[in-house]
Amino acid sequence: MGKIAVLISGRGSNMQSIVEACKRGYINATVSIVLSNRAEAPGLEFARSENIETVVLPHKAFPVREDYDRQVVDILHQKQVDLICLAGFMRLLSSVFVAAFPNRIMNIHPALLPSFPGLHAQKQAVEYGVKVTGCTVHFVDEGLDSGPIILQKILEVKPDDTDESLSQRLLPLEHAAYVEAVKLFFDGRVHVESRKVVIT
């Protein structure tokens, strides 16, 4: 059975969806560790309630980003994880981190990449006036939300949507997309060719 590490900075709602999917056997893996850069992240309490090992590693203790990433990489290597899922982990990963786990770090972004990368994607979508948006699960590379796309799900933007209402309507879609992508990974159906992801 596979091992998943989930990295969070906040409530980790996508982490909770992945944990639940593993518990019911939908994903052939277990979440073996949840790591946060913030001791007050609410998602840590959920992980502890599920008897999942938690680690808090404050990034402010590491002035150099690469030093922080090396420490995280060491922890994840010790746990022998197969996949790392970023679930609201509010830090850009350095090349040190990305190189240690090529095509084994997933992230979810609340927009249809390559549109609206970075923060406040829903606000960007509403202000731009797009008619559809969605979410993207992708592998992480050294760029900002620029890694190979695994899957995307689409949501219509309503004329009266705000960034808050759009975020709320998008969240269940994010949960479903992330769980599906993780399942595909552990089913051995995800293959990266150049920068394209082929699902068999």
Domain boundary among 76, 101, 126: 101
89 and 6 in a common domain: yes
pLDDT digits (tens, 9 = 90+) for 93-104: 999 999 999 999
Model confidence at 188, in pLDDT bands (50, 70, 90)? very high
Angle between helices 163-186 and 121-128 (to 10 degrees): 120
Q: Do 193 and 130 share a domain, yes or no?
A: yes
Q: Which pLDDT score is estimated for 18?
A: 98
In the 3-class helix/strand/coil scheme, how is 165-197 assigned residue by residue? HHHHHHHHHHHHHHHHHHHHHHCCCEEEECCEE
User: Would you say 160 and 120 are in contact if contact means Cβ atoms under 8 Å apart?
Assistant: no
Cβ–Cβ < 8 Å for 166, 133: yes
Domain extent, residue 87, equals 1-101
Q: Domain check: are 96 and 2 in the same one?
A: yes
Phi-psi region of 25 (alpha: psi -120 to 50; beta: other; left: phi over 0): left
Give catalytic residues, as residue numbers. 109
Residue 160 shares a structural domain with residue 177: yes
14 and 81 assigned to the same domain: yes
Same domain as 70, residue 143 = no
117 and 163 together in one domain: yes
Q: What does the pLDDT average to over 60-67? A: 94
Residues 172, 131: Cα–Cα separation, whole Å: 19
User: pLDDT-derived band of residue 190, with 50, 70 and 90 as boundaries?
Assistant: very high
Read off the CATH number of the domain in which 77 is found. 3.40.50.170
Residue 53 confidence class, pLDDT cut points 50, 70, 90: very high
Together in a domain, 38 and 124: no
CB 35 within 8 A of CB 105: no
24 and 97 co-located in one domain: yes
Q: Average pLDDT, stretch 171-176? A: 98
| pLDDT for res 152 | 98
Structure tokens at 192: 């990266």
Average pLDDT, the chain: 97
Q: What strands, in cross-sheet order, belong to the sheet with 2-8?
A: 53-56, 29-36, 2-8, 83-87, 105-109, 132-139, 149-156
Residue 36, C-beta contacts closer than 8 angstroms, at least 6 positions apart: 7, 8, 9, 43, 44, 54, 55, 56, 57, 89
Percent over 70 (pLDDT), the chain:
100
1 & 94 share domain? yes
pLDDT tens digits for range 116-166: 999 999 999 999 999 999 999 999 999 999 999 999 999 999 999 999 999
Q: Do 124 and 82 fall within a single domain? A: no
Total domain count for the chain?
A: 2
Q: Please state, for a pLDDT cut of 90, what percent of the chain lies above it.
A: 99
